[in-house]
Amino acid sequence: MAILFWLVILLVCIFAEIHTQAFVAVFVAVGSIVAFFLALAGVPFAVEAVVFVVVTAVTLFTLRPSFVRRFARSEVVDLTVPAAGSLVNQTGFVEEVIGDEGHPGRVKIRGEFWRAVTDRPTPIASGVRVVVVKSYGTTLWVEPTDGASD
């Protein structure tokens, strides 16, 4: 029964690490692998549990910092800052009237439709040529290009 217990712990840890990438479950999995082999050898469960805790703690505190430095993302993406994406400064045409954030419209740029809003106090009508001034995620902030009518 202990063999099955350690195998389940191992599988849960693999699943958890794949979905979190926090570099914690992988070290719990290492401890469960050692305990699994001890269970195969017929070692009492109490000894397996102690070895599991010790191996997990030692690997977690000694190896995790270097794993985090080596494999973790070095940059943090701040989603509150406008993206400097490839659509900024691109032009397109309004397909659906564009208002403020509470009244988004739709713009067509390079053959694709995008959700669009404006900071202007008045909506931008359909058919008006617009330029992208910034973007947050998949929402574009647009303004009419020079010479466009309100």
| Together in a domain, 13 and 60 | yes
| Together in a domain, 131 and 103 | yes
| Together in a domain, 53 and 98 | no
Average pLDDT over residues 7-16: 91
pLDDT, position 44: 95
Q: Report in angstroms the alpha-carbon separations of 90 from 18, 49, 109, 123, 131.
A: 38, 61, 7, 19, 6
Within-domain flag for 17: yes
Within-domain flag for 82: no
The CATH number for 102's domain is 2.40.50.140
| Together in a domain, 61 and 115 | no
Average pLDDT over all residues of the chain: 86
The three-point CA angle 53-55-57 to 5° equals 65
| Together in a domain, 59 and 105 | no
Write out the two tokens for 18. 């794949």
| Together in a domain, 65 and 120 | no
Other beta carbons within 10 angstroms of residue 119's beta carbon come to 11
Cα 11 to chain centroid distance, Å, stands at 23
- Find all residues with CB under 8 Å of 16, minimum gap 6, and list them: 25
Within-domain flag for 150: no
Within-domain flag for 14: yes
In the chain, the DSSP E strands lie at 91-96, 105-109, 112-117, 129-136, 139-144
The predicted-structure confidence for 135-148, as pLDDT tens digits, reads as follows 887 889 999 987 55
Band the pLDDT of 150: cuts 50, 70, 90: very low
The predicted-structure confidence for 63-92, as pLDDT tens digits, reads as follows 888 887 777 665 555 555 555 557 888 999
Within-domain flag for 86: no
Within-domain flag for 77: no
Within-domain flag for 125: yes
Can you give the residue range of the structural domain that contains 126? Answer: 91-144
| Together in a domain, 54 and 111 | no
Q: What is the pTM of this model?
A: 0.48
Within-domain flag for 149: no
| Together in a domain, 62 and 123 | no
Band the pLDDT of 149: cuts 50, 70, 90: very low
The predicted-structure confidence for 24-67, as pLDDT tens digits, reads as follows 888 999 999 999 999 999 999 999 999 999 999 999 999 888 88
Compute and round to an integer the Cα radius of gyration of the chain: 27
